Amino acid sequence: MNIGGGKFLLGRVSNNPTSGIVGLANVGKSTFFQAITNSKLGNPANYPFATIDAECAKVNIPSAPLSNLLRIYQSAKSVPGTLTIYDIAGLTRGASQGHGLGNKFLNDIRHVDGIFQVVRGFLKEDITHIEGNVDPVRDLSVVQDELILKDLEFLENIRERLNKKMRMVSKTSKEYQEMKVEKELLDTLEEHLFNGKKIRHFKDHWNLDEVKILNKHNFLTSKPTLILLNVSPQDYVRNENKFVKHIIEWINEFSPGDKFLLFSAEFESQFIECKGIASEYFDRIKEDTNASDVQLVSAIPEIILEMRRLLNLISFFTCGPQEVHQWNIREGTTAQEAAGVIHSDFRDTFISADVIKYDDLKTMEPPLNESLLKSKGLIKRAGKQYIMHDNDIALFKAAGGKNKK
Ligand SMILES: Nc1nc2c(ncn2[C@@H]2O[C@H](COP(=O)(O)OP(=O)(O)OP(=O)(O)O)[C@@H](O)[C@H]2O)c(=O)[nH]1
Ligand SMILES: [Mg+2]
């Protein structure tokens, strides 16, 4: 997808985005999974490799415009956009060679669009660390190396298959030329991987041919990553942890472009348990951190929104008396493609879209006066190639004389 300036986005085009929770064994992935999905799925337990098969659950993407549009349109209900989250088995050093739970779960990582990489930053003697001590920078390297090794193995297999195919077709054929381009890209990326760098960070601007090749192969290190340092509740409330400086240095050197946030799996699970209401648990944390007059807030909404940004997602809304519906699309999506997210028929029979900018009506009081919007020129007619903006409100017109959604 072209998002302007010849820049194409890596990764699957989908309105059902997925993210996997990845990290060493026993670092708090399932505890985080339960907190972010507000579910009892997964199997948090104080022993490594407690999670074997990936669990998944959907979370709503927080959106202030969604609730505001529900108010303005006086709709009966709202339907939020969602992100599907997978709790994946823990990695260990040597996983790419079959150590620990072996390779199976590396496939689970292959199928997600984005990665939440959980790293342990809390010190608690009674919680086992498979490397013997708490050292998040080392853990980041171990996980990155395993993903890179797996990509190298995968890349080698792809190249072998390509070489075979190239021997079977004429050197002057279009197919041969395409395979040659692919092989050259793979050779360059192999060198990059050998230098301990992820495919995603090879360059900022990919061209369409490169994106097509990379999307076909779904490399583990081509996925956007949000690094989540799991710290004690006290560190989370103080927004400090002794490892942060070194982690930022490591990211800048070895994984520039990855995002990084502090969170506390323990804090988040208590937050859900106590439903965010004042409790002895939170009173104690406030006392510990001298934050008696501070409002304690969950990191979960920001974590979901950061993943949304990393996946280059934006939203558009369809609004009517029955529902206000938030739809996920990627940056650079045209009006016609956006119509196809609702139903493929709408894409095929697309005529035009009436688009209202959220900013133009966000302070309006209900009931919505459509004639006023029209007279002020706030409803714009958009053609097939119109590039959707975040929070656009759209009414699609399709062939057959029907207004769709
Ligand atoms: N003190 C403390 N303990 C935690 C925290 N997060 C997780 N734990 C504990 O650490 C242990 C491992 O947590 P899990 O959530 O099962 O870890 P995991 O990464 O899913 O482990 P595997 O699935 O085995 O790879 C459990 O006993 C949790 O209660 C935390 O933030 N603070
Ligand atoms: Mg687990």
Question: Measured from the CA of 24, which atom of ligand 1 is nearest?
Answer: 25
Please state the domain count of the chain: 2
Report every protein residue that has its C-beta within 5 angstroms of ion ligand 2: 29-30, 51
What is residue 141's three-state secondary structure?
helix
Based on the fold, state whether residues 300 and 367 are members of the same structural domain. no
* CA separation for the pair 357, 346 (Å, rounded): 21
Per-residue pLDDT at 5: 53
| Strand bridging mode 403-404 / 392-398 | antiparallel
- Mean pLDDT (whole number) for 235-256: 95
CA neighbor of 282 nearest in space, from 234, 229, 238, 239: 234
- Mean pLDDT (whole number) for 53-69: 92
Tell me the CATH number at 366.
3.10.20.30
**pLDDT of 278 over the 90 cut:** no
Q: Domain of 392?
A: 312-404
Based on the fold, state whether residues 201 and 264 are members of the same structural domain. yes
Based on the fold, state whether residues 383 and 302 are members of the same structural domain. no
Which residues are near ligand 1 (CB < 6 Å)?
A: 23, 25-31, 44-46, 48-51, 90, 122, 124, 127, 230, 264-266
Tell me the CATH number at 272.
3.40.50.300
Which of 292, 309, 326 is at the close of a domain? 309
What is the Å distance from ligand 2's center to 271 Cα?
20
| Helix spans in 274-349 (H) | 280-288, 300-310, 335-342, 344-348
Tell me if 317 is assigned to some domain: yes
54-63, 71-80, 268-277 — which is least confidently predicted? 268-277
Count CB atoms within 10 A of the CB of residue 62.
Answer: 15
- Mean pLDDT (whole number) for 329-354: 94
Tell me if 213 is assigned to some domain: yes
Based on the fold, state whether residues 294 and 331 are members of the same structural domain. no
Based on the fold, state whether residues 241 and 371 are members of the same structural domain. no
CA neighbor of 116 nearest in space, from 234, 28, 202, 38: 28
Per-residue pLDDT at 181: 95
Tell me if 66 is assigned to some domain: no
**pLDDT of 319 over the 60 cut:** yes
What is the Å distance from ligand 1's center to 42 Cα?
11
319, 73 contact by CB (below 8 A): yes
**pLDDT of 148 over the 80 cut:** yes
Tell me if 167 is assigned to some domain: yes
DSSP string, 142-195: HHHHHHHHHHHHHHHHHHHHHHHHHHHS-TTSHHHHHHHHHHHHHHHHHHHHHT
User: What single-letter DSSP state applies at residue 113?
Assistant: S
> With bands split at pLDDT 50, 70 and 90, how would you rate the model's confidence at 12?
confident
* Best residue among 21, 27, 31, 263 to mutate for probing ligand 1, ranked by most atoms within 8 Å of CB: 31
38-42, 78-82, 145-149, 191-195 — which is least confidently predicted? 38-42
Per-residue pLDDT at 3: 57
* Best residue among 21, 24, 26 to mutate for probing ligand 1, ranked by most atoms within 8 Å of CB: 26
Q: In the chain, pLDDT over 90 holds for what percent of residues?
A: 69
Per-residue pLDDT at 247: 97
Q: Whose CA is nearest to atom 6 of ligand 1?
A: 28
Tell me if 165 is assigned to some domain: yes
Averaged pLDDT of the chain: 90
> With bands split at pLDDT 50, 70 and 90, how would you rate the model's confidence at 405?
low
Based on the fold, state whether residues 202 and 301 are members of the same structural domain. yes
Which of 276, 294, 309 is at the close of a domain? 309
Per-residue pLDDT at 275: 67
Based on the fold, state whether residues 272 and 179 are members of the same structural domain. yes
What is the Å distance from ligand 2's center to 35 Cα?
13
Based on the fold, state whether residues 270 and 250 are members of the same structural domain. yes
Which of 309, 326, 341 is at the close of a domain? 309
Tell me if 72 is assigned to some domain: no
CA neighbor of 58 nearest in space, from 77, 88, 86: 86
> With bands split at pLDDT 50, 70 and 90, how would you rate the model's confidence at 243?
very high
Based on the fold, state whether residues 230 and 324 are members of the same structural domain. no
**pLDDT of 4 over the 60 cut:** no
Question: Measured from the CA of 87, which atom of ligand 1 is nearest?
Answer: 20
Tell me if 73 is assigned to some domain: no
Higher per-residue pLDDT: 47 or 123: 123
User: What single-letter DSSP state applies at residue 202?
Assistant: S
Based on the fold, state whether residues 252 and 345 are members of the same structural domain. no
Degrees to nearest 5, angle at CA 34 with 91 and 32 = 50
Based on the fold, state whether residues 124 and 194 are members of the same structural domain. yes
Exposure of 367 in the CB half-sphere (CA atoms within 13 A): 6
Tell me if 396 is assigned to some domain: yes
Q: pLDDT (tens digit, 9 = 90+) per residue, 182-227?
A: 999 999 999 999 999 999 999 888 998 999 999 999 999 999 999 9
Based on the fold, state whether residues 37 and 144 are members of the same structural domain. yes
